[in-house]
Amino acid sequence: MRKGHLDSNCRYLAVQKALTAEGEIENIVLKGWVRTVRSGKGVTFLALNDGSSMASIQVVIDASHPDHEAVSAIGTGAALEVEGDLVASPAEGQRWEVKAARITMVGEAGHDYPLQKKRHSFEFLRTIAHLRPRSNTFGAVFRMRNALSFAVHKFFQERGFLYVQTPIITANDCEGAGEMFRVTTLDPRNPPLENSQIDWREDFFGEKTGLTVSGQLQAELFATAFSKVYTFGPTFRAENSNTSRHVAEFWMIEPEIAFANLQDDCKLAEDFLRYHVIYTLENCGEDLQFFNDRIEKGLIDKLEKLAKAEFHVLPYTEAISILQKSGENFAYPVEWGLDLQSEHERYLTEKVFDGPIFVVDYPAQIKAFYMRLNDDERTVAAMDLLVPRVGEIIGGSQREERYDILKMRMDAMGVPSEPLAWYMDIRRWGSCPHAGFGLGFERFLMYVTGMENIRDVIPFPRTPGNAQF
Ligand code: 4AD
Ligand code: MG
């Protein structure tokens, strides 16, 4: 056995390509990590995986191998280069295997390698986030995340949307919820003060800045130049909620469309979801089957149903009345003017509609300043898309395009208009009805994989008290 020599050449095949080969191939090279090792009478079987597919390929090393002693030292987790012939496998459940002619140990792994054969809990795997991508579940999660990231761009590009990269550092709290992480170069022990308040004019950007909670405000500007735009980028919320649906850093997809109202917005959201569900069914078969068998029984049926489902539209006022008449014992009060809690959202999608629903026309006082005031002057043209099990995955609205009404709403909600003069300008020159939404990519992944904790669909989750890795 040779040590540490990487022999990359034209005979190299990804495991996925080897597993789906049309026929036997002589003299191929595979590189990957050992998932399992089994030794029998003079024969060693390895399962080699390189992340290109859920399935590993079986490598057979027989007693005639020149370095059989050293082969017996190969441990789970080791990185190997294997040369040999791809041949039909006599074993059940696999078409091909590799008869090894030469094995090169690239990187050893001892018995203390934490990912041994037994099934580990997701809690444990979170503590080894640097290794969990090498497990079956996380392999499937991150291949699916990759496939759907690509599909997001494909969906929008096929429809003539412009991809815009909105800033990560910003002075504006779009949602007005005070959940921004601070970005500063001031000395925390000795900040410049004026009237015992920090003088942000002295800071790097000359004003108080933070990490963006949404790219929407800038996306609106681009929509009034390019008609249809979308963002897809990191988003930050310093909310101290330790739930299975919240992380402090997540990825949001935010389309924004000009000459559009709330109905157009809902239609876009519906098309988006349907497209991605069908994309998943057509392109992620092996991983989806794994989630269906191991994570959420009936997942594939659920997605097939969703691909054909009718998305109900439910005005907030009606939602409140359904909840009040439900006879359920909710922990949080149900009353017109109060926000819906996750228990209410789940009751509506799971018990009442058994499918996705748009809740629209929320009371103005519980929604952000930019949402368009309806003619009743009590509600705004907002929409949330709720799905069973996960709850809210999309939040969006038609935007207030009328300058005077926007100004009035901002004043009423205590949103200072001076720092947002640029945003309001759009309402002065060539203003037009426009609408958009934000989809939490991780919430969507939870829905299509069946994974129950948002920490398990993002590579390195950031939550209160946790930014390791
Ligand atoms: O409802 P939100 O706060 O809406 C906005 O930010 C709008 N500016 C979007 C727009 O209209 N362009 O957030 C949108 C979505 C939520 O529905 C949820 O899926 C996700 O972002 N989200 C989170 N995902 C994970 N962790 C968090 N802490 C999240 N907060 C919101
Ligand atoms: Mg929301």
Torsion angle defined by CA atoms of residues 360, 362, 364 and 369, in that order, rounded to the nearest 10 degrees: -60
pLDDT of residue 72: 78
pLDDT of residue 14: 97
Q: Which residues contact 250 (CB under 8 A, 6 or more apart)?
A: 234, 235, 237, 440, 441, 442, 454, 458
pLDDT of residue 65: 75
Please tell me the distance from the alpha carbon of residue 206 to that of residue 216, in angstroms, as a whole number. 23
The helix (H) or strand (E) run that includes residue 303 is helix 299-308
* Chain Cα centroid distance, residue 276: 13
CA of 435 to the centre of ligand 1 (A): 15
Please tell me the distance from the alpha carbon of residue 76 to that of residue 114, in angstroms, as a whole number. 9
pLDDT of residue 9: 61
CA of 20 to the centre of ligand 1 (A): 40
Beta-bridge partner residues of 197: 194
Written as six digits, the tokens of 106 are 């690239």
Q: DSSP character for 121? A: P
Residue in the block written with tokens 């761009």: 153
409, exposed or middle or buried, with CB in 10 Å at 0-12, 13-18, 19+?
A: buried
Walk along the chain (469 residues) in steps of 10 and give the mean pLDDT of each run.
52 96 96 94 93 97 77 92 96 94 94 88 95 97 98 98 98 90 96 95 96 98 98 96 94 98 98 98 98 97 93 97 96 96 94 95 97 98 95 97 97 94 97 98 97 98 94
Please tell me the distance from the alpha carbon of residue 433 to that of residue 455, in angstroms, as a whole number. 37
φ/ψ of 187, rounded to 5, equals -75, 115
Q: What is the pTM of this model?
A: 0.95
Please tell me the distance from the alpha carbon of residue 170 to that of residue 205, in angstroms, as a whole number. 10
Ligand 1 touching residue 132 (CB < 6 A): no
Q: Which DSSP string corresponds to 57-79? A: EEEEE-TTSTTHHHHTT--TT-E
Q: Which stretches of 217-309 are assigned E, i.e. beta strand? A: 228-236, 249-258
What are the residues whose beta carbon lies below 5 Å from ligand 2 (ion)? 395
pLDDT in tens, 197-208: 999 999 999 999
- Which residue is closest in CA terms to ligand 1's atom 23? 440
287: helix, strand or coil: helix
Which ligand 1 atom sits nearest the alpha carbon of residue 246? 26
CA of 28 to the centre of ligand 1 (A): 48
User: Angle 136-158/441-449 helices, nearest 10 degrees?
Assistant: 120
pLDDT of residue 67: 72
pLDDT of residue 248: 97
Helix locations, 80-196, DSSP H: 122-127, 136-158
Written as six digits, the tokens of 217 are 């405000």
Nearest Cα to Cα of residue 443 among 214, 145, 228, 191: 145
Domains and CATH numbers, the chain: 12-107 (2.40.50.140), 132-177+213-456 (3.30.930.10)
pLDDT of residue 177: 85
pLDDT in tens, 86-140: 999 998 889 999 999 999 999 999 999 999 877 899 999 999 999 999 999 999 9
Ligand 1 touching residue 443 (CB < 6 A): yes
Nearest Cα to Cα of residue 213 among 198, 230, 233: 233
- Which residue is closest in CA terms to ligand 1's atom 17? 394
377's torsion region: left (phi>0), alpha (psi -120 to 50) or beta? left
